[in-house]
Amino acid sequence: MEQFFQADSWAGWLRIGARNAGSDGVVYLLLAGTGWVLGYLLFRRAWARRKIIAAYPGRADIVREVRLSLLTLAVYGIVGASTFWATGRGGTHLYWRIGDRSAGWFWASIALTIVLHDTWFYWTHRMMHHPALFRWFHRAHHRSHNPSPWAAYAFSPLEALMQAMIFPLAVGLYPMHLAAFGLFMLWQLTFNVIGHTGYEIYPRWMMDSWLGKVISTPTHHVMHHETSRGNYGLYFNVWDRLMGTNHDRYEERFRAVTAPDRSRAAVG
Ligand SMILES: [Zn+2]
Ligand SMILES: [Zn+2]
């Protein structure tokens, strides 16, 4: 398998980059496409009660989100190829033979990467909201005030680079099998698509239990797009709670969106 990711020329490096971008693109198409088909075509009416913002994003929004996502895929391809290149020169702990480490470590490395990514995301996200950086790094993502599933990868190239760094960061810090990283990518994009599709999927009781204090929700991220402040976290609500950056009305909004008697007219 190793040879498949090793290049000894610029052309080979480019080919590997294109292949990475292509495979990430197929996963993006499948997951964001599933969110789109379910939430915007098949169950648009049935799920309307759980739509966090009543209106639906327009055609121009979708086109922009898909275009930006294509650029992001190119950046991911390049960062991936460069990380493989560094691996070939002993620069990372990425390993290829599954038997080189225990099965326990295989799964632990995924859990560790989820926690690392959550922390990386929270702090780089807050940094990108700094007025000096926002325009260059993060404005493109915030042009979606009411995101669709296609916004999951709608980043400026600089933000895409920041997001892609999780791969060299993880395999630079600890041993990780490529398949473990692949499973992590599947997790991150699934979570990301759910967060941008615009429907609250969690049960109402969750906010009254410890789960609601630990897990982040689609309402959390949609409010971030709506107001451009507060709610900086990704998978967990831990950093936002520790740093006091949850939006003041976050829990109230979650309860309103998940209210049993919520009609479409009451959305908002
Ligand atoms: Zn977002
Ligand atoms: Zn933001």
**How many Å lie between the centroid of ligand 1 and the Cα of residue 5?**
31
Q: What is the pLDDT of residue 208?
A: 95
The per-residue b/e assignment along 61-74, b for 16 or more CB within 10 angstroms, e otherwise, is bbebbbebbebbbb
Question: Cα separation of 20 and 89, whole Å?
Answer: 19
**How many Å lie between the centroid of ligand 2 and the Cα of residue 169?**
21
**How many Å lie between the centroid of ligand 1 and the Cα of residue 127?**
15
Ligand nearest to the CA of 145: 1
Q: What is the pLDDT of residue 193?
A: 97
Cβ–Cβ under 8 Å, residues 218 and 194: yes
**How many Å lie between the centroid of ligand 2 and the Cα of residue 153?**
13
What's the pLDDT tens digit per position in 47-91?
999 999 999 999 999 999 999 999 999 999 999 999 999 998 999
**How many Å lie between the centroid of ligand 1 and the Cα of residue 267?**
21
**How many Å lie between the centroid of ligand 2 and the Cα of residue 24?**
23
Residue ranges of domains in the chain: 2-203
Ligand nearest to the CA of 147: 1
Q: What is the pLDDT of residue 266?
A: 45
**How many Å lie between the centroid of ligand 1 and the Cα of residue 1?**
34
Ligand nearest to the CA of 221: 1
Question: Cα separation of 257 and 222, whole Å?
Answer: 12
Q: What is the pLDDT of residue 262?
A: 76
Give the mean pLDDT of the chain: 94
Q: What is the pLDDT of residue 9?
A: 85
**How many Å lie between the centroid of ligand 2 and the Cα of residue 222?**
10
Cβ–Cβ under 8 Å, residues 78 and 15: no
**How many Å lie between the centroid of ligand 1 and the Cα of residue 141?**
6
Q: What confidence category does residue 263 fall into, taking pLDDT thresholds of 50, 70 and 90?
A: low
Q: What is the pLDDT of residue 268?
A: 44
Ligand nearest to the CA of 125: 2
**How many Å lie between the centroid of ligand 2 and the Cα of residue 189?**
17
Is 197 a residue whose pLDDT tops 70?
yes
**How many Å lie between the centroid of ligand 1 and the Cα of residue 225?**
6
Cβ–Cβ under 8 Å, residues 164 and 75: yes
According to DSSP, residue 38 is labeled I
Q: What percent of the chain has pLDDT over 70?
A: 97
Q: What percent of the chain has pLDDT over 90?
A: 90
Cβ–Cβ under 8 Å, residues 149 and 197: yes
Ligand nearest to the CA of 228: 2
Q: What is the pLDDT of residue 178?
A: 95
